[in-house]
Amino acid sequence: MLNRRAFLKTSAAALPLAATLDPVFAVTPVQTSGSAPTLTPLPLRLAPEDSSRLSWQQKVRRVGQSNMTEHDPAVMNIEEWAEYWHSAGTDVVFVSVTGILAFYPSKVKFHRLGKFLNNRDFFGECTAAAKKRGMRVVARMSPDLNWGDALEAHPEWAMRNKDGSVQFNGEEPRLFKTCMFSTYMDDYVPAVMREVTSLYDVDCFYTNGWPPIGMLPECHCAICSKLPAPGTPAYWHTFNDRLFELWNKYDTIAKDKKPDSFYFANLGGNVHASANLDRLGKLAVWFQGDNQGRTNDDPAVWGATLQARVCNAVLDGKFAANITAAYSTGIVRWRNASKNPAEAQMWMNETLAGGLALYYHFIGSEAGLGEDRRWQKVGSDYFQWAAKHDAHLKPRRSIANIGVVIGQGTQLLYKGPTTAPTHSYMRETTHGLYETLLRGRYTFDYVHEDRLDPEHLSKYRVLLLPNIAMLSDSQCQQIHDYVHSGGSLMASFETSLYDENLNPRSDFGLTDLLGINKAGDVVGTNGNAYYARIEHPNATPPHPILDGFSNTNWLPGSQNRIPLKPVPNPILTVVPGFVQYPPELAYPPISHTDEPAVVLRETGSSRIAFFPGDIERTYWLTGHGDLLRLMHNTLRWLTHDARPVHVEGDGFVEMFAWETSPGYAIHLLNYTNPNAQHSWMQSTYSLGPQNVSLKLPSGVKAKSVELLRSEQLVPSRLQGDTLHFTIPRVDDYEIAAITIA
Ligand SMILES: [Zn+2]
């Protein structure tokens, strides 16, 4: 067998190009220690895809939108608009019908005509210009707001505050917010849709602005006052029932004249989406990831890939697009000015890497097609490049052996522990684990909490439960079954301490499985956080989860923890937190306890690790390398250090591995950048060689490996049934497309 050093030498020799590259940004990964992982063979390939069975939208790869303003009928050059999107290689464009302002001579009462419409049929002209060029048209509506005359005639349409006053739009107070439980949604919205289907040949309908993204509405109108209290599990169920009732109603109208038409809504919010993602995945045929760019509030660069992983968890191969705002997103917005090209490009890179269709979006067409026209070349260059590689960029299924549970109920309804209640608690937990997995270069999928059955879990060697506080008895049973069939598990903190209705349990729902018992309420931090004492610091060899720690008896714990009853032979025990200032008092009054700081179990090939602290979130808050190493070591132990794909090299990257129709695609997103977790990308810091190895399924041979961004072939080598090749350089993004014989 070729050792690692010899392999590196061989690949460098096979690639003279790599040796001549400029020295590039070199980063020493924090976590690497120990040997290279074992490769598990890729699964047997899926049967070839029958493209005649795909719906039209499943063939869409590029979506374009110049979001139309009231002024556009006066200033937009329709031919220039249609030509731009068509020449970029766009399959489908959004054209505004709206609901707030009509872009055609609507006769529906309260569908106010735009003041620059001047009797023109702007919607019809745009639709005709798109259709003439072979692009499909999405009729875009906005059911979320309407004007004072509608409010006067229908006071029951408005969302209300607790005191009964009307909720108005914050920027344009003449517009009131419409309530999704009112007849506005049952009568007015369908009337506009029916008028559009009677007048135009559109391909499907979309509503912007509803449902709300990442949160639940709060309304106190006469109808809503009779519903369960906002923000409660019972309200969430009612919200979902109403959402899907309306979705079905609108879908039926869309299909009235055209059976292959459909309805879809504004979605996004990744793991804390408002609509139940399991139900949505069964109903939606187009997931609209309205997740357009990052903000100060949510600064991690991987916003689009996180959304993509969520879509892949629930869509079963149906269509999803993630929107890239070409305009300036964030806390200070310029919706009519281009954003940094490096940032817009990274968002599109992430969209493709995550397996979603590209969607590029700008607002307003002042001066023909925008006062600021810089966004246009960024989008068309990207679209045109992607169009050359559609076959390799469209995924069939992910290659991953780690499943991360989406606790959607917990994300939406749980407010954090009593010691640290914050709106962003679960978001920080999510990002902490996400970064951990990226830094370990793991391939992983999300798994929805309502899909914990054997069919969805069998591909994963390990399931991760990052503080999934709310779990029903039946979900706990499914997790039991998964472990008893040989799966491994990592869980943390308040996982299973609440049922699906947010009722606290007296002990963990997973007590028996995890081998733990609660010994008290959550302990937070006041001063020094708690430490984890290494019980046998001189053990040789150390326990695998302690690999690489030397010259210390203590490791950092977490900000918050659930005290556990003692367990036999603990690896780490809690040193309770104490004063950090003044330093005179910064020493532990109690230096040694029998309270476990991690609980490990092993039965057959199944391994379990439970951290009583909120370790993922504490890592996100601090970036402490010990926490990262501890989680990486634990993941290696849980998976028996087996991976389906191994990519070795410097840099902070996110990777995806896909089975595709021509073969396989390994995507590397280069986040090695001072702006990876703050503001926007300004430029790219290239990475040097990345050595890829994977074990092809038996009987499958690789014909070629092509790098799609740098558009070059690279040599590959078969060692036994393991395929090795080197990506000599990664700028912002690279895809190694493996074509099989
Ligand atoms: Zn209401």
Rounded CA separation 544/555 (Å): 15
Assigned token pair, 510: 């997973």
Q: Which amino acid is at 360?
A: Y
Ligand 1 mean position, distance from CA 102 (Å): 24
Ligand 1 mean position, distance from CA 158 (Å): 7
Ligand 1 mean position, distance from CA 49 (Å): 46
Ligand 1 mean position, distance from CA 617 (Å): 35
Comparing CA positions, the residue from 309, 269, 266, 555 lying closest to residue 426 is 269
Rounded CA separation 111/196 (Å): 12
The 8-class DSSP code of residue 155 comes to G
Tell me which H or E stretch contains 8. Answer: helix 4-14
Q: Is 568 exposed, middle or buried (0-12, 13-18, 19+ CB in 10 A)?
A: exposed
Ligand 1 mean position, distance from CA 156 (Å): 8
Angle at 291 between CA 218 and CA 73, to 5 degrees: 90
Ligand 1 mean position, distance from CA 218 (Å): 8
Residue of higher predicted confidence among 29 and 647: 647
Contact partners, residue 224, CB within 8 Å, separation at least 6: 159, 160, 179, 181, 230
**Whole-number pLDDT of residue 35:** 73
Ligand 1 mean position, distance from CA 182 (Å): 7
Assigned token pair, 351: 């969209």
Furthest CA-CA distance within the chain: 84
Side-chain half-sphere of 344: how many Cα atoms within 13 Å?
A: 25
Q: Which amino acid is at 373?
A: R
Ligand 1 mean position, distance from CA 161 (Å): 9
Rounded CA separation 406/471 (Å): 11
Ligand 1 mean position, distance from CA 422 (Å): 26
Ligand 1 mean position, distance from CA 222 (Å): 7
Ligand 1 mean position, distance from CA 174 (Å): 19
Ligand 1 mean position, distance from CA 74 (Å): 36
In the predicted model, is pLDDT for residue 548 greater than 80?
yes
Comparing CA positions, the residue from 316, 338, 317, 320 lying closest to residue 329 is 338
In terms of residues, how long is the chain? Answer: 741
Q: In 414-539, where does DSSP find H-type helix? A: 425-439, 454-457, 473-484, 511-514
Cβ–Cβ < 8 Å for 466, 424: no
**Whole-number pLDDT of residue 6:** 38
**Whole-number pLDDT of residue 331:** 86
Ligand 1 mean position, distance from CA 266 (Å): 19
Rounded CA separation 54/206 (Å): 21
3-class state of residue 108 by DSSP? coil
Q: Work out the average pLDDT over 244-258.
A: 97
Rounded CA separation 734/398 (Å): 17
Q: Is 538 exposed, middle or buried (0-12, 13-18, 19+ CB in 10 A)?
A: exposed
Q: Work out the average pLDDT over 447-473.
A: 98
Q: Is 327 exposed, middle or buried (0-12, 13-18, 19+ CB in 10 A)?
A: buried
Ligand 1 mean position, distance from CA 191 (Å): 20
Ligand 1 mean position, distance from CA 124 (Å): 34
**Whole-number pLDDT of residue 34:** 56
Cβ–Cβ < 8 Å for 661, 396: yes
Ligand 1 mean position, distance from CA 227 (Å): 9
Q: Work out the average pLDDT over 515-527.
A: 98
Ligand 1 mean position, distance from CA 655 (Å): 43
Ligand 1 mean position, distance from CA 217 (Å): 9
Q: Work out the average pLDDT over 346-375.
A: 96
Q: Work out the average pLDDT over 218-246.
A: 98
Assigned token pair, 403: 């499943």
The beta-carbon contacts of 337-342 under 8 Å, at least 24 apart in sequence, are 337/372, 338/362, 338/372, 338/374, 338/375, 338/378, 339/293, 339/375, 339/680, 340/680, 340/681, 340/682, 341/374, 341/378, 342/680, 342/681, 342/682, 342/683, 342/684, 342/732
The 8-class DSSP code of residue 560 comes to -
Rounded CA separation 298/431 (Å): 9
Ligand 1 mean position, distance from CA 293 (Å): 30
Ligand 1 mean position, distance from CA 271 (Å): 25
Ligand 1 mean position, distance from CA 720 (Å): 65
Ligand 1 mean position, distance from CA 159 (Å): 5
In the predicted model, is pLDDT for residue 177 greater than 60?
yes
Ligand 1 mean position, distance from CA 211 (Å): 13
pLDDT tens-place string over residues 429-440: 999 999 999 999
3-class state of residue 657 by DSSP? strand
Rounded CA separation 624/635 (Å): 17
3-class state of residue 626 by DSSP? helix
Q: Work out the average pLDDT over 370-399.
A: 97
pLDDT tens-place string over residues 270-310: 999 999 999 999 999 999 999 999 988 889 999 999 999 99
Place of tokens 């046998």: 536
Phi-psi region of 392 (alpha: psi -120 to 50; beta: other; left: phi over 0): alpha
Rounded CA separation 76/68 (Å): 9
Q: What percent of the chain has pLDDT over 70?
A: 95
**Whole-number pLDDT of residue 3:** 40
**Whole-number pLDDT of residue 296:** 83
CA–chain centroid gap for 506, Å, is 33
**Whole-number pLDDT of residue 395:** 97
Q: In 256-276, where does DSSP find H-type helix? A: none
Side-chain half-sphere of 175: how many Cα atoms within 13 Å?
A: 16
Rounded CA separation 307/293 (Å): 11
Ligand 1 mean position, distance from CA 523 (Å): 39
Ligand 1 mean position, distance from CA 188 (Å): 16
**Whole-number pLDDT of residue 297:** 84
Backbone angles phi, psi at 336, to 5 degrees: -120, 20
Ligand 1 mean position, distance from CA 195 (Å): 26
Q: Work out the average pLDDT over 400-413.
A: 97
Ligand 1 mean position, distance from CA 95 (Å): 29
Cβ–Cβ < 8 Å for 729, 688: yes
Ligand 1 mean position, distance from CA 219 (Å): 5
Rounded CA separation 6/3 (Å): 5
Cβ–Cβ < 8 Å for 573, 533: yes
Q: Work out the average pLDDT over 109-122.
A: 97
Ligand 1 mean position, distance from CA 45 (Å): 50
Ligand 1 mean position, distance from CA 415 (Å): 24
Ligand 1 mean position, distance from CA 504 (Å): 29
Ligand 1 mean position, distance from CA 264 (Å): 22
Ligand 1 mean position, distance from CA 268 (Å): 22
Ligand 1 mean position, distance from CA 221 (Å): 4
> Terminus-to-terminus CA distance in the chain, angstroms?
25
Ligand 1 mean position, distance from CA 172 (Å): 20
The string over 573-585, giving b where at least 16 C-beta atoms fall within 10 Å of a residue's C-beta and e elsewhere, is bbbbbbeeeeeee
Ligand 1 mean position, distance from CA 288 (Å): 25
Indicate if the alpha-carbon torsion angle 64, 70, 71, 73 is positive or negative: positive
**Whole-number pLDDT of residue 32:** 44
Ligand 1 mean position, distance from CA 313 (Å): 31
Backbone angles phi, psi at 60, to 5 degrees: -70, 135
Rounded CA separation 503/473 (Å): 12
Q: Which amino acid is at 297?
A: D
Ligand 1 mean position, distance from CA 167 (Å): 10
Ligand 1 mean position, distance from CA 509 (Å): 36
Place of tokens 């984890």: 532
Tell me which H or E stretch contains 253. Answer: helix 233-255
**Whole-number pLDDT of residue 733:** 98
For the entire predicted model, the pTM comes to 0.94
Rounded CA separation 561/520 (Å): 10
Ligand 1 mean position, distance from CA 179 (Å): 5
